[in-house]
Amino acid sequence: MIHLRYPQWGVGVVVEQRSSTASGGICIARVAFRDGVERSFINDLDNYNCCYYTGVRLQEDSKSIHR
| Cα dihedral: 50, 35, 18, 54 (round 10) | 0
pTM: 0.78
Q: Would you give the distance in Å from CA 52 to the centre of its chain?
A: 7
User: Where are the chain's structural domains?
Assistant: 2-61
The residues near 14 (Cβ < 8 Å, ≥ 6 apart) are 1, 29, 30, 31
Write down the pLDDT at residue 5. Answer: 95
Q: Write the pLDDT tens digit of every residue in 10-67.
A: 999 999 999 888 877 789 999 999 999 999 999 988 888 999 999 999 887 545 444 3
pLDDT of residue 51: 92
CA 61 from centre of chain: 13
